[in-house]
Structure 1
Amino acid sequence: MKLTKYTHACVKLEKDGKVLLVDPGSFTEDAAFEGVDAILVTHEHPDHLDVERVKSIDAPIWTNSDVAGQLGELGERVQVVADGDVFEAAGFAVRAYGRDHAVILPELGVPCQNVGYLIEDAVYHPGDSFTLPGRKVHTNLVPISGPWFSLPPAVEYARAVDAQQTVGIHDALLSPIGQGMLKRFLDGQGDRPYQQLAPGTTVEVN
């Protein structure tokens, strides 16, 4: 399986001629939308969901009920999933985890629903959360910036997930200096190599 990192939180997975796109948001390059067979959306924020571009693609979408409400005109193209659901999207085996977006400010409470996805028991995308998948994965995608982000829980999350490697995502707000700082803290947590992939970079996932 191939994983391509795009700007911020979007990744594309390719396997057996099928393409699965996760969190195509407002920062995502147009190239990410080419040849897509299915889409997963973790939550409703624009940096993870570009509503108009998603609507323009003739592909089924799996997401939580909040996002499904915004895409209601797409009818049966949208499938609602929740924590614990197991399903198949364009030939990819997927399991959903969690229900809440990380808290930005305590007085604001939980901003919205958020569901993470474990794909092919290999790649875990948590959306805007540090919800643990509770099982071994090959590649753990670690959010490394944002208004809700904090370094200590990010490091604990990277340590807790039993992954062969971690890859930084949710990184559009960081300068190269910030990227380097996060790599220094996250690289080698639990002997897991940390990858900071430039947008458009493709890696193999076993």
Structure 2
Amino acid sequence: MRLTHYGHACVLLELPQRVLIDPGGYSIGFEHLTGLDLVLITHSHADHLDVDRLRYLLESSPQATVVHSPGAAHVLAGMNTTVAEPGDELSIAGVGITVTGSGVHACIHPDLAVSDNNGYLLNGAVLHPGDALDPVDGPVDVLLVPAGGPWMKIREGIDYLRAVSPRVAVPIHQAGLAPVHQRLHQQLLANLAPRGTKVVVVDHAVPQEL
């Protein structure tokens, strides 16, 4: 499997099917991709979904299926998409998709409106949890582990990494951190990872074989 990280929560997986997850406003470079089979949206926050660039992206990949959480439906109105929620099992373009999690975005503050959130487990192997640290049943080979955000502490990310205990963990969701803190959080994840887990920091837009 090949993974390319376009910053923050946006990754391209080549399984070999080309799957793009969370093309959002904090991410750079994904809009020029072609030949996509599948686009997955965990939720509608702007750092995970840039609707204008998604429309542009789909002009070059009209065959791609867009799957998203129920809460993203209003901003994707008029587009041909598929709504999914936790517990759903889908098979699209030969990719098995298990929608994971509680369906709720991790709490930023009780006084803020609650957002929904989908996690996606692809082919029973690669997990993108979106903006939540919900447990999953069964083993995970590659975990895209959040490294920072207003809804989490790095301690929680470390505990989540230990609970999932994947073969490989790739830190994501880091754009809100200063570079020095990105490096610190990545180092903490690597140093405190469970035995048998390798933390791989992927350079921006550079494909990485996992």
TM-score, length basis structure 2: 0.89
For 1:178, the equivalent position in structure 2 comes to 181
Give SS of 1:88's match: strand
Shift in Å, 1:126: 0.4
Q: CA deviation at 1:25?
A: 0.5
In structure 2, C-alpha distance between the alignment counterparts of 1:86 and 1:68, rounded to whole Å: 19
Determine the C-alpha separation between the residues in 1 that align with 2:105 and 2:203.
25
Tell me the CA shift for residue 32 of structure 1.
Answer: 5.2
Instruction: State the 1:178 CA deviation.
Output: 0.9
Match of 2:23 in 1: 24
Indicate the residue corresponding to 1:108 in structure 2: 112
Question: Is the aligned partner of 1:149 residue 2:121?
Answer: no
Give, in whole Å, the separation in 2 of the partners of 1:30 and 1:168: 18
Contact 1:122 1:139 in 2 (8 A): yes
Q: Is the CA contact (8 Å cut-off) linking 2:6 and 2:30 kept in structure 1?
A: no
Amino acid of the residue matched to residue 100 of structure 1? V
Q: Look up the match of 2:43.
A: 43
Q: Secondary structure at the match of 1:185?
A: helix
Question: Kindly tell me: are residues 72 and 32 of structure 1, through their superposed partners in 2, closer, same or farther at Cα, counting changes over 3 Å?
Answer: closer
Residue in 1 aligned with 2:7? 7
Matches within 5 A, 1:1-206: 1-16=1-16, 18-31=17-30, 33-35=32-34, 36-56=36-56, 57=58, 58=62, 59-74=64-79, 77-98=80-101, 99-108=103-112, 111-187=114-190, 188-191=192-195, 192-205=197-210
**Residue type at the aligned position of 2:108:** I
* Distance in 1 of aligned mates of 2:206 and 2:141: 17
Contact 2:70 2:83 in 1 (8 A): yes
Aligned-residue CA RMSD (Å): 1.6
Give the total of aligned pairs.
201
| Other structure's SS at 2:74 match | helix
Segments of 5+ residues of structure 1 without an aligned counterpart are none
Query: How many percent of aligned residue pairs carry the same amino acid?
Result: 34
Deviation at 1:33, TM superposition (A): 4.5
Greater fraction helix: 1
Post-superposition CA distance 1:155-181 (Å, at most 9, x none): 110100030011100011223321221
- For structure 2, the residue ranges without an aligned partner over 5 or more in a row are none
Runs of 4 or more consecutive aligned structure 1 residues displaced over 4 Å after TM superposition: none
How far apart are the structure 2 equivalents of 1:129 and 1:94?
Answer: 18
